Amino acid sequence: MSRKIDDATMDNVEILAKLALSDEERERAREEMEKILSYVEKINELDTDRTEPLVHILESGNVFREDEVTNGSGKEESLANAPRKKDGQYMVPKTV
């Protein structure tokens, strides 16, 4: 039942996860994922053809409120946590 994670799938997962794994980490992660996946595939034993997926335990529907700022701008405090900043803005490496 175990589905082997091939190189292309592993590449894609790494991109989605935004992680730069070393070769060794990548192999270990792949092995462990395969082990865990073959265990969780146990749910395939269940007949769920007539079962609706359950996302929310409490049926509340959407909750709306006015989009009003109630806690001030907090600009200084926010920027205080920035790894790098300049002139009141976040600084990131060159993007283009």
Partner 1 sequence: MEEILHMSALELGKSIREGKISVSEAAESCLEQIRRKEPDISAFLFVDEDGLKQRVKEVEEGIRQGRYTSPLAGVPVAVKDNICTRGMKTTCASRMLENFVPQYDAEAVKRLEEAGMIIVGKTNMDEFAMGSTSETSYFQTTKNPWNTKHVPGGSSGGSCAAVSAGEVWMALGSDTGGSIRQPASYCGVTGLKPTYGRVSRYGLIAYASSLDQIGPIGGNVKDCAAFYDVIAGKDEKDASSSPVPVETAVWKEKEDLTGVRIGIPREYLGEGTDPQVKQAIEKAAALMEEHGAFVEWFSLKMTEYVIPAYYIIACAEASSNLERFDGVKYGYRSADVQELHEMYKKSRQEGFGEEVKRRILLGSFVLSSGYYDAYYLKALKTKALIKHELDMAFQKYDCILAPASPSAAPELGTSLKDPLKMYLSDIDTVAVNLAGLPAICLPCGMDSQGLPIGMQLIGDCFQEKKILETAAVYEKLRGSFPVSWKEEM
Q: Residue from 2, 6, 11, 19 that binds partner 1 (CB under 8 A)?
A: 19
In eight-state DSSP terms, residue 46 is S
Decide if residue 67 touches partner 1 (CB under 8 A): no
Across the chain, how many H-helices and E-strands are there? 3, 2
29, with CB counted inside 10 A (0-12, 13-18, 19+), is middle
Q: How far is the CB of 81 from partner 1 (least distance, A)?
A: 4
- Give the DSSP H or E segment for 27: helix 23-40
CA distance 10 to 25: 12
* Residue 32 interacting with partner 1 (CB under 8 A): yes
Q: Out of 16, 24, 69, 88, which residue is the one contacting partner 1 (CB under 8 A)?
A: 16
Residue among 2, 6, 9, 27 that touches partner 1 (CB under 8 A) = 9
For residue 36, the surrounding DSSP H or E stretch is helix 23-40
User: Interface residues with partner 1 (CB under 8 A)?
Assistant: 5, 9, 12-14, 16-21, 25, 29, 32-33, 35-37, 39-44, 46, 48, 51-58, 60, 63, 65, 71, 74, 77-78, 80-84, 90, 92-95
